Amino acid sequence: MAGGTTAPFGIDTTVPSTARMYDWWLGGHDNFAADRAAALAVSEAAPEAPLMAVENRKFLRRAVRYLAAEAGITQFLDIGTGLPTQGNVHQVAQGVNPAARVVYVDNDPMVLAHSRALKTGGDTVVIEADLREPRAILDHPGTRKLIDFSQPLAVLLVAVLHFISDDDDPSAVVGAIRDALPPGSYLVLSHVTGDIRRESAAKAAVHYKKVTSGATLRGQEEILRFFAGLELIDPGLVQVPYWRPGGPEPADASKVWILGAVGRKPGPSSAERL
């Protein structure tokens, strides 16, 4: 590992992991030589890859801050959380509202080991589950312990759906989650696209096929369909640096081929009806 520590038991450090590649791009230390080599290969094909990782993480933090501070959301279900870094969901949400509750979901053993080592407290839990089995996530005892599905919540699917192939029917996966949300809930989603910098994106996708999870490039209309039945929060589905930036945009923002949006399930929440 870059930081010199050993891997959790059962992890094959010779096989690249998308979570650990992402960690390396973010300047983290929870990665191994195979991850760095794979990340470098992707970066050579698409030099904007490290920027995309950074900007996607910034988008996540801005979206969580918006939901906690402006939308009044106190429950967060983060699916495909990735390795912990600075400004995790519980840190951002609980920085706004200390009573905010967060459930992290992943199926990567290293992500689970590191996430469980965080000093998160009783309002944050980490569960092992696979996005391709949404009912297992929604019905998990850890989820049910912290999430009240009679009240609005936010589901985060940030940079994870492109690792779900068309064969696994991602629209049905998202639909099952969407249907379980009460009115007033939110979906936060980001996804790589082939609509921007097509050649660069296609080359990167080829390299991802050599990693543990291949990446599927989808067009803007395909990504928009994940928000069916939801009301998009302004500015809609945009390149992630342009989603409520709150400050100067990076010089290369237009090169980022990952789209993000926040959608709200219409109808008054139970709290609003009272």
Contact 51, 256 (CB under 8 A): yes
Distance (Å, rounded) from C-alpha 163 to C-alpha 212?
10
- pTM of the shown model: 0.90
pLDDT of residue 39 exceeding 50:
yes
Contact 186, 154 (CB under 8 A): yes
pLDDT of residue 274 exceeding 50:
no
Q: Which domains does the chain possess? A: 18-268 (3.40.50.150)
Q: Could you report the per-residue pLDDT of 83-137, keeping only the tens digit for each? A: 777 679 999 999 999 999 999 998 877 777 767 666 566 799 999 999 999 999 9
More confident residue, 170 or 274: 170
Contact 67, 101 (CB under 8 A): no
Residue 148 binned pLDDT confidence (cut-offs 50, 70, 90) = very high
The pLDDT assigned to 29 comes to 84
